[in-house]
Chain A
Amino acid sequence: MSLLIRNGRVIDPAQKLDAVRDVVITTNATGASGRVEAAGSVSPQGHAEVIDAAGMLVLPGLVDLRAHLREPGQEYKEDLVTGATAAVAGGVTTVVAQPDTKPAVDNGEIVDFVRRRGEAAGLAKILVAGAITAGLKGEQLAHIGEMRRAGAVILSDGDVWVRDAGLMRRALEYSRDFDLTVMTHAEDPTLMRGGLMHEGPMSVRLGLKGIPSVAEETAIARDLALAAYTGARLHVAHVSSAEAVEQLRIAKKRGTKVTCDVAVHNLVLTDEALTNFDTNLRLSPPLRREKDRQALIAGLIDGTIDAIASDHAPQSVLEKDLPFIEAEPGAIALQLMLPLCLTLVAEERIDLPTLVARLTVGPARVLGAYAQGAGTLAAGDVTVVAPDAEWLLARETLLSKCMNSPFLGRTLRGRVESTVVRGRVVYKRQTS
Chain B
Amino acid sequence: MIAGKHLLGMRGMSADTIHHILDAAEGFRGISRRTIKKVPSLRGRTVLSVFYEASTRTRVSFELATKRLSADSVNIASSGSSAEKGETLLDTAKNLDAMQCDAIILRHSASGAPHYLADRVSARVINAGDGQHEHPTQSLLDLLTMRQCFGKLEGLEVAICGDIMHSRVARSNLIALKEVGARVRVAGPRTLVPPELAETYGCEVMPSIAQAVDGAHVVMALRLQKERMTAGLLPSLREYAIEFGINARVLSRARPEAILMHPGPVNRGVELSSDVVDGPRSVILDQVENGVAVRAAVLYLVLGGEAA
CA distance A57 to B102 in the complex (A): 56
Q: How far is the CA of A201 from the CA of B130 in the complex (A)?
A: 18
Q: Is A253 an interface residue (CB 8 A)?
A: no
CA distance A271 to B133 in the complex (A): 16
B205 to chain A, nearest CB (A): 11
Residue from the list B89, B116, B131, B196 in contact with A201, Cβ < 8 A: B196
> Is B111 on the interface with A (CB-CB < 8 A)?
yes
Residue among A207, A208, A325, A326 with the most chain B CB within 10 A? Answer: A207
Residue in B90, B112, B197 whose beta carbon sits within 8 Å of that of A204 in the complex: B197
Q: Given the interface contacts A207-B131, A322-B89, does A277 sit within 8 Å of B196 by beta carbon?
A: no
In the complex formed, the residue of A with least CB distance to B195 is A204
Min CB distance A289 to B, Å, is 11
Interface residues as binary, A193-211 with B (CB distance below 8 Å gives 1, 0 otherwise)? 0000000111111111100
**Within 8 Å of chain A (Cβ to Cβ): is B290?**
no
Q: Is the CB of A323 within 8 A of B112?
A: yes
Q: Is A276 an interface residue (CB 8 A)?
A: yes
Whether B199 pairs with A207 at a CB distance below 8 angstroms is: no
A205 (CB) vs chain B CBs: closest residue: B200
Contact B196 A206 (CB under 8 A): no
Q: Is the interface of B mostly helix, strand, loop or mixed?
A: mixed
A207 & B116 in contact (Cβ 8 Å cutoff): no
Residue of A nearest to B89 (CB): A323
B44 CB, min distance to chain A CBs, angstroms: 32
Residues of A within 8 Å of B110, CB to CB, are 323-326
- The answer, among A208, A209, A276, A322, for a CB contact under 8 Å with B88, is A322
- Say yes or no: is A119 at the interface (Cβ < 8 Å to chain B): no
Q: Does B115 contact A (CB under 8 A)?
A: yes
Evaluate contact between A201 and B111: CB separation under 8 angstroms: no
Whether, in the assembled complex, B73 has its beta carbon less than 8 Å from a beta carbon of chain A, the answer is: no
Say if the beta carbon of A321 comes within 8 Å of chain B. Answer: yes
Interface of A is mostly: helix
A316 to chain B, nearest CB (A): 13
In the complex, the answer to whether A276 meets B194 with C-beta atoms within 8 Å is no
| CB atoms of B90 and A322 under 8 A apart | yes
Q: How far apart are the CA atoms of A201 and B109 in the complex, in Å?
A: 21
- Asked if A204 contacts B200 (CB within 8 A), the reply is yes
Which residue in B108, B112, B197, B200 is a CB contact (below 8 Å) of A277? B112
| Nearest CB of chain B from residue A47's CB, rounded to whole Å | 53
Q: Which residues of A contact B113 (CB under 8 A)?
A: 323
Which residues in chain B, 219-239, are within 8 Å of chain A measured between CB atoms? Answer: none
Flag if A277 contacts B116 (CB, 8 Å).
Answer: yes
B132 within 8 A of A: yes
The answer to whether B90 touches A207, judged by C-beta atoms less than 8 angstroms apart, is no
Contact B115 A207 (CB under 8 A): no
Chain A residues with CB below 8 A from B132, complex form = 207-209
Residues of chain B touching chain A, judged by Cβ–Cβ distance below 8 Å, are 88-90, 108-113, 115-116, 130-134, 168, 171, 194, 196-197, 199-201
| Chain A interface (Cβ < 8 Å from any Cβ of B) | 200-209, 276-277, 321-326
Since A207-B131, A321-B90, A322-B88 are in contact, a sample of 17 more A-B pairs with Cβ atoms closer than 8 Å, ordered by chain A residue number, is: A200-B196, A204-B196, A204-B200, A205-B171, A205-B200, A206-B133, A207-B130, A207-B168, A207-B171, A277-B115, A321-B88, A322-B89, A323-B108, A325-B109, A325-B111, A325-B112, A326-B110
